[in-house]
């Protein structure tokens, strides 16, 4: 089978051995969950429950006041009583309103939607089911799945890509999903193909997961609807799982600067998202559980787990999750390249938490920054063909406009430049701050324009 790839990028130690090939283990029923009411990219939600109210696993507990396209509801992940609704620190380190539920009654009490046949319902009903089930992209920023499946009229899409590349070190949860739930993955792909009217799909995997191929091929033969679904093998190279990189590797197409996958005629969905879509139709199940990898040198029991959304590592029994607190130096939500460091084991698991990495000091060793030696390595390895050194110099000189000209907004924050830089310059961290400054400047300029317009009216 041909092995495809994209240009540039880096080779990383994969560090997946601790959980590779391990099945997904169900977390013991937690006594409490802390569920952030906003876990998606889009308009904010409001709580639909009050303190003291009884909820059942599967009940909707938050939604937008006016449910619009960029909104996604949130559901109770355990049955019990709402004991608090208050701001808590979330996995992106911001404070956000959370619903705290204390468990009560039998652990298996749940109320889901009735199953829905995606092949006989209308497209509108199918998209509404995906929204109502609270499904967001499970590999990234929590973009609403139903929005991705509704490209603007006139937009040509000819390929659905299932993203199973999982290029971040340590993480093995997509591999576990493709192993144990390949039938649901294919059913989810078939649903997406039906909704979008696209007749071809590719499951993209890196060539360090070749063992999955016979398994997926067998499932494709078994499924009644297999359509034109194939497997695309990609070279194990970081960041192969980036949407733009995967599209280039599998099709040879380039997503234009500032563009989206649909500008290359593709829709990309993470394999976990496709499994969640299949479950929403065939089981009527909303997105209330999250499969994730827990690993790292300070984790004595590295494993792939299934946890109710809102569960915290701190509450898991030691015989299930044994943490070496003496050696724990850093807690990462997500992988070590693109994940976020959090302060506490009380941080709740969210819809987009693909892994929690418990790192020791040796794994996180931070070296002092030195001066740039103009080696050009960051430019040669950037998968988006940007000039990180120039972007960094522009930001140092407070010249945001020049940083944008050099590609700041096209940066996918993969961290390859930081990893490869011999001077240990924290390039990607600066780009994140630069983008934040740009957002603040845009908000200030919009507010100033609105104030001038208001003054003219009065
Ligand atoms: S973080 Fe941005 S600039 Fe650095 S390599 Fe990745 S895409 Fe390029
Ligand atoms: S890799 Fe580091 S040292 Fe080399 S040019 Fe880029 S910023 Fe400078």
265 & 130 share domain: yes
> 137-154: buried (b, 16+ CB within 10 Å) or exposed (e) per residue?
bbbbebbbbbbbbbbeee
**pLDDT, average across residues 388-400:** 95
Query: Considering the domain boundaries, does residue 404 fall inside one?
Result: yes
Q: Whose CA is nearest to atom 8 of ligand 1?
A: 382
Question: Is pLDDT above 80 for 108?
Answer: no
**pLDDT, average across residues 367-381:** 94
pLDDT (0 to 100) of residue 66: 81
Concatenate the DSSP letters of all residues of 433-453 into one string.
HHHHHHHHHHHHHHHHHHHHH
**pLDDT, average across residues 122-138:** 96
Count of domains in the chain?
Answer: 2
User: Where residue 228 sits, what CATH number does that domain have?
Assistant: 3.40.50.11540
pLDDT (0 to 100) of residue 141: 75
Query: Considering the domain boundaries, does residue 34 fall inside one?
Result: no
252 & 389 share domain: no
pLDDT (0 to 100) of residue 193: 96
Q: Whose CA is nearest to atom 8 of ligand 2?
A: 372
Q: Which residues contact 40 (CB under 8 A, 6 or more apart)?
A: 70, 71, 72, 136, 142, 143, 144, 351
pLDDT (0 to 100) of residue 80: 96
Gap from CA of 39 to ligand 2 centroid (Å): 36
**pLDDT, average across residues 272-300:** 97
Q: Which residues contact 50 (CB under 8 A, 6 or more apart)?
A: 82, 85
- What's phi and psi for 20, nearest 5 deg? -60, 130
Query: Considering the domain boundaries, does residue 75 fall inside one?
Result: no
Does the beta carbon of 12 sit less than 6 angstroms from any atom of ligand 1?
A: no
Does the beta carbon of 416 sit less than 6 angstroms from any atom of ligand 1?
A: yes
Asked if residue 239 has a cis previous peptide bond (ω within 30° of 0), the answer is yes
* Residue range 33-48, pLDDT digits in tens: 999 999 988 889 999 9
* Residue range 429-439, pLDDT digits in tens: 999 999 999 98
Q: Which residues contact 402 (CB under 8 A, 6 or more apart)?
A: 390, 394
What atom of ligand 1 comes closest to residue 420's alpha carbon? Answer: 5
pLDDT (0 to 100) of residue 454: 80
385 & 237 share domain: no
Query: Considering the domain boundaries, does residue 51 fall inside one?
Result: no
Q: Which of 282, 300, 318 is a domain's end point?
A: 282
Angle at CA 27, nearest 5°, toward 322 and 348? 85
What atom of ligand 2 comes closest to residue 420's alpha carbon? Answer: 1
> Using 50, 70 and 90 to split pLDDT, how confident is the model at 447?
confident
Query: Considering the domain boundaries, does residue 48 fall inside one?
Result: no
- What's phi and psi for 342, nearest 5 deg? -115, 160
Gap from CA of 387 to ligand 2 centroid (Å): 10
Q: Which letter does DSSP use for residue 148 in this model?
A: H
Provide the β-strand partners of residue 24: 304
Question: Residue 272 to residues 71, 107, 122, 145, 212: CA-CA distances in angstroms?
Answer: 20, 24, 24, 12, 15
More confident residue, 206 or 225: 206
* Residue range 139-153, pLDDT digits in tens: 777 899 999 999 998
276 & 383 share domain: no
Gap from CA of 8 to ligand 2 centroid (Å): 15
pLDDT (0 to 100) of residue 374: 95
pLDDT (0 to 100) of residue 4: 77
Question: Is pLDDT above 80 for 224?
Answer: no
**What's the whole-number average pLDDT of the chain?**
93
More confident residue, 4 or 206: 206
Q: Which of 243, 258, 282 is a domain's end point?
A: 282
**pLDDT, average across residues 168-196:** 95
Query: Considering the domain boundaries, does residue 32 fall inside one?
Result: no
Query: Considering the domain boundaries, does residue 426 fall inside one?
Result: yes
133 & 259 share domain: yes
Does the beta carbon of 422 sit less than 6 angstroms from any atom of ligand 2?
A: yes
262 & 135 share domain: yes
What atom of ligand 1 comes closest to residue 418's alpha carbon? Answer: 4
273 & 383 share domain: no
Question: Is pLDDT above 80 for 285?
Answer: yes
398 & 263 share domain: no
**pLDDT, average across residues 308-336:** 96
pLDDT (0 to 100) of residue 105: 78
Domain with 231, as residue range(s), is: 3-21+113-282
What atom of ligand 2 comes closest to residue 375's alpha carbon? Answer: 4
384 & 276 share domain: no
> Using 50, 70 and 90 to split pLDDT, how confident is the model at 225?
low
Gap from CA of 383 to ligand 1 centroid (Å): 7
Q: Which of 257, 282, 307 is a domain's end point?
A: 282
Gap from CA of 381 to ligand 2 centroid (Å): 11
Query: Considering the domain boundaries, does residue 176 fall inside one?
Result: yes
Q: Which residues contact 247 (CB under 8 A, 6 or more apart)?
A: 161, 253, 254, 255, 261, 264, 266, 268
Half-sphere exposure of 329 (CA within 13 A, CB side): 11
Gap from CA of 387 to ligand 1 centroid (Å): 8
Task: Give CA–CA dist 229/189, Å, rounded.
Answer: 8
* Residue range 60-74, pLDDT digits in tens: 999 998 877 789 999
Does the beta carbon of 382 sit less than 6 angstroms from any atom of ligand 2?
A: no
Is 289:307 a contact under the CB 8 Å cutoff? Answer: yes
Gap from CA of 376 to ligand 2 centroid (Å): 6
Does the beta carbon of 413 sit less than 6 angstroms from any atom of ligand 1?
A: yes
**pLDDT, average across residues 401-413:** 94
Q: Whose CA is nearest to atom 4 of ligand 1?
A: 417
Q: Could you say which ligand is closest to the alpha carbon of residue 426?
A: 2
């Amino acid at each position: 089978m041909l092995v495809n790839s994209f240009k540039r990028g880096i080779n990383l130690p994969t560090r997946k051995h601790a959980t590779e090939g391990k099945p997904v283990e169900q977390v013991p029923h937690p006594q409490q969950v802390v569920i952030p009411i906003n876990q998606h990219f889009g308009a904010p939600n409001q709580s639909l429950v009050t303190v003291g109210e009884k909820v059942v696993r599967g009940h909707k507990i938050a939604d937008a006041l006016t449910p619009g396209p960029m909104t996604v509801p949130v559901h109770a992940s355990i049955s019990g009583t709402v004991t608090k609704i208050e701001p808590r620190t979330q996995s992106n380190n911001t404070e956000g309103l959370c619903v705290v539920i204390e468990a009560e009654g039998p652990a298996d009490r749940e109320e889901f939607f009735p199953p829905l046949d995606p092949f006989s319902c209308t497209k509108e009903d199918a998209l509404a089911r995906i929204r109502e089930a609270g499904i967001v992209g499970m590999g990234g920023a929590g973009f609403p799945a139903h929005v991705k499946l509704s490209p603007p009229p006139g937009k040509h899409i000819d390929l659905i890509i299932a993203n199973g590349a999982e290029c971040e070190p340590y993480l093995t949860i997509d591999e576990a999903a493709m192993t144990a739930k390949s039938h649901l993955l294919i059913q989810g792909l078939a649903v997406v193909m039906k909704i979008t009217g696209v007749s071809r799909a590719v499951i993209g995997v890196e060539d360090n997961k070749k063992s999955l191929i016979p398994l997926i091929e067998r499932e494709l033969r078994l499924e009644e609807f297999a359509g034109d679904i194939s497997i695309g093998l990609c070279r194990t190279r970081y960041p192969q799982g980036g949407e733009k990189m995967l599209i280039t590797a599998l099709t040879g197409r380039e997503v234009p600067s500032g563009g989206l996958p649909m500008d290359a005629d593709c829709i990309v969905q993470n394999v976990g998202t496709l499994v969640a879509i299949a479950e929403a139709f065939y089981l009527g199940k909303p997105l209330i559980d999250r499969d994730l990898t827990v690993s790292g040198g300070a984790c004595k029991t590295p494993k792939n787990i299934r946890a109710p959304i809102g569960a915290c590592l701190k509450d898991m029994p030691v015989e299930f999750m044994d943490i070496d607190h003496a050696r724990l130096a850093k807690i990462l939500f997500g992988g070590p390249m693109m994940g976020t460091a959090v302060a506490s084991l009380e941080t709740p698991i969210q819809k987009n938490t693909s892994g929690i990495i418990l790192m020791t000091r040796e794994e996180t060793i931070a070296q002092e920054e030195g001066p740039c030696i103009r080696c050009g390595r960051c430019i040669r390895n950037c998968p988006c063909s940007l000039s990180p050194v120039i972007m960094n110099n522009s930001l140092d000189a407070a010249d945001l406009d020049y940083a944008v000209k050099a590609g700041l907004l096209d940066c996918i924050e993969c961290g390859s430049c930081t990893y490869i830089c011999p001077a240990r310059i924290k390039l990607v961290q600066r780009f994140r701050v630069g983008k934040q400054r740009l957002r603040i400047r845009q908000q200030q300029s919009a507010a100033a324009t609105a104030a001038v317009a208001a003054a003219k009216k009065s």
